[in-house]
Structure 1
């Protein structure tokens, strides 16, 4: 069986990761190859000039009423998997950034970039530049236009013979753009394409093209990344109540389920034979100090978040704490922090967690950046609590080390299609406190290998998070044997890519 995976991110390559999809694209091809599947992977080249590349072919791509030239490069071959990138100025003109922010025209720059990438992939497939294929596995909205060209463009004959699998990693991001009357629109990209607007339109904005909805309708299989999430997406989101489900595409997911197309398969995690890197808290603080200095140097004006964090770190380096260390790693978005930002008493839920951990001389370290409003909120919370350190940035090394250092990992996401952070923390023997949604409920069992909560609405979720946090602290302090058993169970839990790969073969490919 011969598979081509198409995505926007790939952590197998340098500087080609923003989120969890990069981890999936890094790992699943090799797990599939171990079970006899030939896998090739292609992503855009974002100006990664340090790649050791081998020229494969130039690709002539009709796009925006011009014939553009892209180039296909092979950048790695090993362990049975071949890695490719496609280069063009559209991919590299933003100083290596994978995604761009269009404040007043959501997705405009990225949608054009990925539409061209999709068109180039289609041309390369049609001209057998990847040799013979059987299955096309597309990831998230960034690869969704391929299904539209496959279905509606008469120029692709060989492409139409391939089976398509579409994986949804984040249903909240759908890449919606107008059908026309905009330079970043379906008809601007492909002006001669005849299409069925009823299949491709967004439900809320019928004059707009929804790439994710299109791929759900047109692909042969639709894959979401946990069993529980495959049920949640069938229901209408109620954000005011704190429930996030189909995000406007629940009807399409219901159709996919009735057609036998919808499959929920949990992502996996690598479990290396060698144990994770160990480090003392003192040495960790030294590493963070260096990272903070580098973050400060990137901007001409000193940001409050970095200044307060640096001062807090200096205080901690001279102090001695006897209580547990609470950790959290992830992008600061409403998905991750909505419950934490809910009002409680005279502050917010995260203020209350800091108050509770202070009672047993514990600390909280939060690493992440994202939404500016949330960054400001966490900076203010840090200023109010001497036992909380908020690191506003991204440093994979200092993030990875936190999985090993912490006593309790905090991940109260409002929705989580799968989640990788909880698996990494559990692998290191750090129990997690999670919201019972998506892949979190599929990996963390309350009082067995972690702690979990739920709630009928946002207020209830906030109260139950606080209660469960209190429970975890009480067990940590009063029943260390039970807590250690929970930690041991977390360390021995296994969610392997081998199991995921076998499910891909059984339920997506065959």
Structure 2
């Protein structure tokens, strides 16, 4: 079986990662290859240096009433997997950035054009057998969704139409919606001669707009979401005021996919090695590492940011004071997906304030690592300024995150929705129990009082209250029943969510149609 994976990110390559999809594209090809699948992976070339490029061929791509030339390069071949990038100025003109933040009046405009061209280039390369013969085309998120549109509606492609298509949704909240026409970043501007069925491609709330994600869900042979529980949640309408996030406007299409037998929920995996925790460092060493990172972050800005200054002062105080309490950790992008419950109003502040007060009762410290929404960054900085036991690190460093998984006693992940989640798997792998909201992949990985702590609620207020209650319970167990807590931590470290298992399900449920 021969599979081509098409995505926007790939952590196998340098500087080609923003989110969790990059981890999936890095790992799953090799798990599939170990089971006899020949896998090829292609992503855009964002101008990364240190790629060992081997020229495969130039690709002539009709796009925006011009014939553009892209170039296909092979950049690695090992363990049965071949890695490719496609070069064009559209991909590399933003100084290596994978995504661009367009004005809110024209969301996705730059990226949608870039990824529409990438999809068209992939289609042309497939049609001309530049990847050799294929059996399955596996597309990831909205960035690769235009491949299904061209495959279905363009008469240019004959061989492409013979391939089975699998579409994986990693983040249903980002759908890449653009107008059908009357804009330079629109379906008709990209492919002016394309005849299409607007009923299959339009956005439900904005019928004059093209929804790439909905298009791929409708047109692909299989639709894959990244956990079994999430595959049930997406069948229901989102109710953000109640704190439930499901189909995000595409629940009707997901229901149809379910009835057609197209919808499959398969949990992502995690890499496990015998020496996963062999490079432990002491907390003092970790504080020194934070110090170095903070200084580098400060140097990148012409003016000193309050978040970095307060964090640096807090760190200096911690380095001079001994704490006998547990370390509570959190690692992830600061978005409402991850932090909606933490920012809910509570007592004299927000929920995170209350958690800090509870932690202070047993001399516990909280370290939060992540950046994202400027409003949330500001909120978390304010919480840090109010509580001496809170350190908020507004940035990201691979080592900072990796060591934090190993050093913590309790990992906070109260996501409002979580298609799969990788952070909880990494924390559990390191023997750190997680406190999670019972949604999506968190339900499928964390079992309350067996390998972690879990809460739920019928609305935002109840969810916030249950989060606080469960947090108190977890810290009470840590302090009053250390043997039970140690057993729970051991259970977390023994849990296994392997890519080998995921790959078996990919083959049986997605590829063997």
Task: Give the TM-score normalised by structure 2.
Answer: 0.99
Matches within 5 A, 1:148-163: 148-163=149-164
Residue 7 of structure 2 is matched in structure 1 by 7
Query: How many residue pairs were aligned?
Result: 510
2:384 and 2:185 map into 1 onto residues whose CA distance is 41
1:271 aligns with 2:298: no
Structure 1 residues 262-301: Cα deviation after superposition (integer angstroms, max 9, x where no partner) = 0000000000121322010100011111111111111101
Match of 1:500 among 484, 499, 502: 502
Residue 256 of structure 2 is matched in structure 1 by 255
1:434 deviates by 0.1
Residue 357 of structure 2 is matched in structure 1 by 355
Residue 218 of structure 1 is matched in structure 2 by 219
Structure 1 residues 330-371: Cα deviation after superposition (integer angstroms, max 9, x where no partner) = 000000000000001000000000000000001000000000
1:428 and 1:250 map into 2 onto residues whose CA distance is 36
- Secondary structure in structure 2 of the residue aligned to 1:308: helix
Structure 1 residues 140-163: Cα deviation after superposition (integer angstroms, max 9, x where no partner) = 000000000000000000000000
1:165 and 1:78 map into 2 onto residues whose CA distance is 24
Residue 132 of structure 1 is matched in structure 2 by 133
Matches within 5 A, 1:307-456: 307-456=309-458
- Secondary structure in structure 2 of the residue aligned to 1:442: helix
1:49 deviates by 2.2
1:292 and 1:79 map into 2 onto residues whose CA distance is 38
Moved over 3 A (4+): none
Matches within 5 A, 1:151-190: 151-190=152-191
Structure 1 residues 176-222: Cα deviation after superposition (integer angstroms, max 9, x where no partner) = 00000000000000000000000000000000000000000000000
- Secondary structure in structure 2 of the residue aligned to 1:72: strand
Mark the runs of 5 or more structure 2 residues left unpaired by the alignment: none
1:50 deviates by 1.5
- Secondary structure in structure 1 of the residue aligned to 2:445: coil
- Secondary structure in structure 1 of the residue aligned to 2:16: coil
Residue 192 of structure 2 is matched in structure 1 by 191
Matches within 5 A, 1:477-492: 477-492=479-494
- Secondary structure in structure 2 of the residue aligned to 1:275: coil
Mark the runs of 5 or more structure 1 residues left unpaired by the alignment: none
Structure 1 residues 385-405: Cα deviation after superposition (integer angstroms, max 9, x where no partner) = 000000000111111110000
- Secondary structure in structure 1 of the residue aligned to 2:237: coil
1:161 and 1:183 map into 2 onto residues whose CA distance is 31
- Secondary structure in structure 1 of the residue aligned to 2:449: coil
1:292 and 1:86 map into 2 onto residues whose CA distance is 36
2:379 and 2:501 map into 1 onto residues whose CA distance is 40
1:81 and 1:275 map into 2 onto residues whose CA distance is 24
1:506 deviates by 0.6
Match of 1:290 among 281, 287, 292: 292
Structure 1 residues 3-47: Cα deviation after superposition (integer angstroms, max 9, x where no partner) = 000000000000000000000000000000000000000000100
The root-mean-square deviation of aligned C-alpha atoms, in Å, is 0.5
2:30 and 2:180 map into 1 onto residues whose CA distance is 38
1:207 aligns with 2:211: no
1:13 and 1:284 map into 2 onto residues whose CA distance is 27
